[in-house]
């Protein structure tokens, strides 16, 4: 993700310049810096000491976010951090407070909030033409599950790492969620189950407004990447389809029509990934906030943690809006 964001900032965001590429993998840092015409280092502090650096974009393994965000804010830099902000609620709250107190931007990578399709869905939903919301559905599918145990140990598990996007969208589009119940299976490798995680999962949601929701997630959908959703309302339905592509090429034979699928999230969400870093650069220059607020970041994380706990506990977990989850009687 770091290479993607740095490339977007350098080549496509007029008001931004990438001063440093930082990666403990020196070869990767040097190669990326060379391509972008930036300086490079393996040590974040070198960049933090540079007074011309105004903002830091962090796309390191998730278990490193907390410490790196804290150091960057302490150095007076604005921060864009990939999601999830941290792996602990207390730390998440503390960093948001730290940024607020210092008057610094702390943007978290909930890129769908900048995606044209999801934004259109939000506009329709906010316009009130759906009538009462009845059912929210979201599907997210990756083609191939990550195999490395290093990834599994450092990214926080399926719900906190990935389903968090759908949970954030559920709140954004329908409203607060009171209860989650997760089901999961470890189908591509027993490792997921051994770690208390899953590679395929369902989360059933109960919204405060009375609507129901269901999210399905697969890390092992061999056909391609999918990110689709629907809000079923009493007067209308908004549906975000599965095949969003920048082109529309179909293969037609008698009785058969096939459509290409995005390969992965970078392919599907290219516009959103650009728009979110463009916003970060503009926010540093004082443009009004957009995307997920600190409260959104916290609540999406609370729901993700509640889902992970529900999977382990085998029963629903209640979530009080604005507070921590508590387990529902099974």
Ligand X SMILES: NC(=O)c1ccc[n+]([C@@H]2O[C@H](COP(=O)([O-])OP(=O)(O)OC[C@H]3O[C@@H](n4cnc5c(N)ncnc54)[C@H](O)[C@@H]3O)[C@@H](O)[C@H]2O)c1
Residues that bind ligand X (CB under 6 A): 1-2, 22-25, 28, 44, 59-62, 64, 82-83, 109, 111, 155, 161, 265
Decide: 163 and 305 in contact? Cβ < 8 Å.
no
Residue 45: CB minimum distance to ligand X, A: 10
Distance from CA of residue 263 to its chain's centroid? 18
Which C-beta is closer to ligand X: that of 71 or that of 309? 71
Output the CA angle 256-259-263, nearest 5 degrees: 140
Q: Which is nearer to ligand X, 141 or 206 (CB)?
A: 141
Q: How far is the CB of 184 from ligand X (least distance, A)?
A: 19
Query: Based on CB atoms, which residue is closest to ligand X, 61 or 116?
Result: 61
Closer CB to ligand X, residue 25 or residue 209? 25
Q: Token pair of 146, please? A: 């990550």
Least Å distance, CB 33 to ligand X, is 13
| Paired tokens of 195 | 């770690």
Q: Give the orientation angle of helix 294-313 with respect to helix 164-173, to 10 degrees.
A: 120
Distance CA 261, CA 164 (A): 22
d(CA 73, CA 129): 42
Comparison of 83 and 261: residue with beta carbon closer to ligand X: 83
Phi-psi region of 305 (alpha: psi -120 to 50; beta: other; left: phi over 0): alpha
- Cα–Cα distance measured from residue 275 to residue 80, given in angstroms and rounded to the nearest whole number: 13
Least distance to ligand X, CB of residue 118, Å: 12
- Shortest Cβ 62–ligand X spacing (Å): 4
């Amino acid at each position: 993700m770091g290479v993607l964001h740095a490339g977007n900032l350098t080549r496509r965001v007029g008001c931004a310049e990438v001063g440093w590429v930082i990666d403990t993998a020196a070869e990767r840092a040097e190669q990326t810096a060379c391509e972008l015409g930036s300086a490079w280092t393996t040590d974040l502090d070198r960049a933090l000491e540079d007074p011309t650096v105004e903002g830091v974009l962090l796309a390191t393994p998730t278990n490193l976010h907390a410490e790196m965000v804290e150091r960057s804010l302490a150095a007076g830099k604005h921060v864009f951090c990939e999601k999830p902000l941290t792996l602990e609620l207390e730390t998440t709250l503390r960093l948001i407070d730290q940024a607020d107190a210092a008057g610094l931007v702390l943007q978290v990578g909930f890129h769908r909030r900048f995606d044209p399709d999801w934004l259109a869905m939000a506009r329709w939903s906010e316009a009130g033409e759906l009538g009462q919301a009845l059912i929210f559905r979201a599907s997210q599918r990756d083609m191939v599950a990550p195999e490395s145990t290093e990834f599994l140990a450092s990214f926080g598990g399926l719900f906190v790492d990935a389903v968090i996007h759908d949970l954030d969208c559920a709140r954004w589009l329908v409203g607060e969620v009171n209860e989650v119940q997760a089901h999961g299976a470890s189908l591509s490798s027993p490792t997921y189950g051994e770690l208390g995680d899953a590679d395929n999962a369902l989360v059933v949601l109960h919204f405060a407004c009375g609507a129901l929701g269901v999210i399905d997630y697969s890390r092992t959908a061999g056909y391609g990447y999918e990110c689709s959703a629907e809000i079923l309302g009493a007067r209308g339905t908004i549906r975000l389809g599965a095949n969003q592509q920048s082109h529309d090429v179909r293969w037609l034979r008698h009785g058969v029509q096939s459509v290409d699928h995005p390969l992965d999230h970078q392919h599907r969400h290219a516009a959103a990934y650009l728009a979110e870093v463009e916003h970060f650069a503009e926010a540093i220059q004082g443009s009004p906030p957009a995307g997920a607020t600190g409260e959104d970041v916290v609540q999406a994380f609370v729901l993700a943690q509640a889902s992970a706990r529900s999977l382990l506990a085998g029963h629903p977990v209640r979530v009080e809006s604005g507070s921590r989850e508590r387990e529902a009687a099974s």
